[in-house]
Amino acid sequence: MHLMSDSMGVAPASARDPVRSLEAALQREQKKVALVQEVSRALSETGDLDALLSLIMAKVTELMEADRSTLFMVSEDGRALWSKISQGSDRVEIRLAVGEGIAGWVAQTGQPTIVNDTSKDPRFARRFDASTQFQTRSVLCAPLISRGRTIGVVQVINKEGGKFTQGDLELLLTLVEPCAIAIENAILFQRTEQLTITDDLTRLFNSRYLNLYIGREIKRCKRHGIPLSVIFLDLDGFKSVNDAHGHLAGSRTLTEVGRILVEAVRESDILARYGGDEFVVVLPETPPSGALVIAERIRKAIESHVFLRDQGLEARISASFGIASYPDHALTPEGLIQKADQAMYRVKERDKNGIEVAV
């Protein structure tokens, strides 16, 4: 019977195991090729930087069969690393000095590395494991190099069921090389796009972006039946600062006003320099009563601030405020700005340094 089974093509177990191993290895390679192709398609099709980075790191973690992975970006001054995207972790932001830890060493040298026993590697920064109660056993790390400059580092942690190999490193390098160029291009595009919607002086949004944003918010307000308020403010006494101290001092004053606004509003609020010494604050999901509270907070902050102190001067200004809300006072971006502007001018004509709600 045994001879008949063999003659009918049933191989012994010892012969079948290598075949199964080969099939499994081929399946793994096919999976890797498919994942690399998927990332390559995303690099050419995805314009959203965060979506691109999330996809890349998800695929890196899957390809490397690892517990966790993190993409670090190098700061503009080249001195620090900060975690941009993490997979499989608690999303805790990590900051490293270039040269600190294994990722910092890779950023500093531009060299990839494999560490399969972190307890024996002096480069390993133990403070992060100590603070998160996570145990990092092994690390695979590769630089993101674009146009000869290291712009980031990909760090993969804890190979599932084994050690990182030279093959893993070669695969990671194959993946990150085109990623680095795509990431830098996406960052440059973001910065260019940001320049078109922000004010050069104050770094607040400009009027172009303001109108687009209010238009989108009004559509959302219509869908959900929620209010939206706009504060229009114009500085009182700004011309006297320019006349007394020059236009450079005037520009510094506007920059200080921008900082006061940032500190006075909520994270969800939008700030814009409308033109000259005029500013607009957009308050999502806020009725006129809520806008009054925020406008008063800003009014007091500007009134009490001593401007140009770092220039050895002491300038004082105030501001006049107008408030308009959707749907109470207008139904369009232009209507809201106009109504708030008109309310502000009534304050100007009266006694300045005050607040009025549109009618």
The tens digit of pLDDT for each residue in 64-115 reads 889 999 989 898 788 999 888 888 766 667 889 999 999 999 999 999 999 9
Quick check: 228 pLDDT over 80? yes
Average pLDDT over residues 235-248: 89
Edge-to-edge order in the sheet of strand 270-275? 270-275, 278-284, 228-236, 318-326, 355-357
In tens, the pLDDT along 134-151 reads 889 999 999 988 878 898
Q: What is the pLDDT of residue 320?
A: 95
Confidence check: pLDDT of 160 > 70: yes
Q: What is the pLDDT of residues 208-223, one digit of tens each?
A: 888 888 998 999 898 8
Contact by Cβ (8 Å): 121, 129: no
Give the long-range contacts of residues 29-36, CB within 8 A, separation 24 or more: 32/63, 32/171, 35/59, 35/62, 35/63, 36/63, 36/171, 36/174, 36/175
**Identity at 300, one-letter amino acid code:** K
Decide: 145 and 195 in contact? Cβ < 8 Å.
no
Using the predicted structure, report yes or no on whether residue 46 has a pLDDT greater than 70: no
The answer to whether the CB of 231 falls within 8 A of the CB of 294 is yes
How far is Cα 117 from Cα 112, in angstroms, rounded to an integer?
Answer: 16
How far is residue 130's CA from residue 30's CA, in Å, rounded to a whole number? 39
> In this predicted structure, which of 7-16, 84-93, 105-114, 152-161 has the lowest mean pLDDT?
7-16
The whole-number pLDDT of residue 107 equals: 95
Residue with tokens 């009534």: 346
- pTM (2 decimals)? 0.53
Residues whose CB is less than 8 angstroms from the CB of residue 65 and which lie 6 or more positions away in sequence, other chains included? 159, 160, 161
**225 vs 43 pLDDT, higher one:** 225
* Strand duo 139-146 + 149-159: pairing: antiparallel
SS3 state of residue 328? coil
pLDDT of residue 174: 80
Residue 71: which of 92, 90, 51, 57 has the closest Cα?
Answer: 57
Is residue 273 predicted with pLDDT exceeding 80? Answer: yes
Cα–Cα nearest to 214, from 327, 101, 112, 333: 333
Beta-carbon count within 10 A of 159 CB: 20
